Amino acid sequence: MSDRILSVEGLEVSLPVPTGTLNAVQGVSFHVERGETVCIVGESGCGKSLTALAIMDLLPKRARRTARELTLLGEPIIGVSESAMSDLRGNRMAMIFQEPMTSLNPAYTIGNQLEEALLRHRKVSRAQARERAVHLLERVGITAAGQRLRQYPHQLSGGLRQRVMIAMALMTGPDLIIADEPTTALDVTIQAQILHLLAELQREFHMGLVLITHDLGVVARIATRVVVMYAGQVVETGTAAEVFGAPRHPYTRGLLDCIPIPGKTKRGERLGTIPGMVPSLVGHMQGCHFAGRCNYVVDACREAPISLTATPGGAHQVRCIRADELIGERATAREDVA
């Protein structure tokens, strides 16, 4: 059991809205082993960020969260007191957000904020905390770390700020890091560097890493396992090789068809598209959530809830009743139905 860092079973998150209840996350299950990078990927509104916040217990107050199981290192982290949770947060599990400017406090120095992360959870002196801060800043590739400690967030570039955030997450040596779109606000060159760094640190510190992103390119390169979400549900999950090499859900295949790949897609050729829009998650939905946009929809898709089923002899799971028939079929029509 010691190698399973995080276990999520049947996670549900709902929010009251004027028109009813928004079922933002509907029965999401996945787990993270030590040393694994699990990527949760999906488009805006699919529930990926709320899944992360639900694990950290950082949901907005009006949100309702339930789960059959939610454990960190075998200990439940749902239904525990707020003080117990804040002992875990930033300690055994840490989070890295998309916009490092808004997640760092502009009124305190980098050093102050880094040290605080450790002083809050460990009985150490400020000098010891400072020492660790310098060590970690150097580790994440920041030169002249001692001087940087006296600087304020606005004095650093976006890439440096994100490195500071990573260093801060590492201060207590957590078992789990959840990174929500950690490179989206950064330049491509810096993005590659930060991902490279995250992958390296994850191996070095032997942590579990949950990476939340909309960028399939990032996922393909860094993930041990992939969780594809659509409209609040997991629609496909498996290893990166399975999901990208042989995608089985029409949504996953459609997404991959949308992306130009230098040397593979032909210049000027039409890219695949997914017609239609994400359905509203207010109220209950019958059948497959993707049915309204799917080229392969049949009556049976709309009748009953579709369950996530494993392919024979593998961990590759897909939520589609026609997945087996569709192997070998082209994912999307190349015609734009805008």
Partner 1 sequence: MSATIAARSAGVPQAGAASSAPPMLEAIDVTRMFMVSQGFMRAKKPLHAVNGVNLSIRQGEVVGLVGESGCGKTTLARMLLGLMPPSSGSLKIDGQPLTGMRRRDVARLVQPVFQDPYSSLNPRKSVGSIIGLPLRVQGGVNSEEEKKRVLEMMELVGLARRLYDNYPSQLSGGQRQRVAIARALINRPRMVICDEPTSALDVSVQSQILNLLQDLRRELGLTYLLISHNLAVVEHMADRVAVMYLGRIVEQTDTDTLFRNPRHPYTEALLKSVLTPEPGLGVPDTQLGAAYPNPLNMPSGCRFHPRCARRFGPCDTIVPRPLNSAEGMVECHLYDDDVKKEVAA
Residues found near partner 1 in the complex (CB under 8 A): 43-44, 141-143, 157, 159-160, 163, 187-193, 195-196, 199, 214-223, 240-241, 243-245, 254-265, 267-268, 270-274, 277, 336, 338
Q: Is 141 left (phi over 0), alpha (psi -120 to 50) or beta?
A: left
Which is nearer to partner 1, 150 or 196 (by Cβ)? Answer: 196
Q: In angstroms, rounded to a whole number, what is the distance separating the alpha carbons of residues 85 and 69?
A: 16
Locate 28 and state its tokens: 């999401």
Q: Which amino acid, 308?
A: L
Query: Which C-beta is closer to partner 1: that of 158 or that of 173?
Result: 158
Nearer to partner 1 by Cβ, of 78 and 220: the residue is 220
Cα separation, 115 vs 117, whole angstroms: 5
Q: State whether residue 14 is helix, strand or coil.
A: strand
Residue 274 beta carbon to partner 1: minimum distance, rounded to whole angstroms: 4
User: Shortest Cβ distance from residue 13 to partner 1 (Å)?
Assistant: 21
Length of the chain: 338
Q: Which is nearer to partner 1, 83 or 143 (CB)?
A: 143
* Shortest Å, Cβ 312 to partner 1: 22
Cβ of residue 267: shortest distance to partner 1, in angstroms? 6
CA distances from 267 to 40, 260, 271 (A): 30, 9, 10
Closer residue to partner 1, CB minimum distance, 86 or 155: 155
* Residue 122 CB, nearest approach to partner 1 (Å): 29
Instruction: Please report, to the nearest 10 degrees, the dihedral formed by the alpha carbons of residues 240, 166, 43, 242 taken in order.
Output: 0
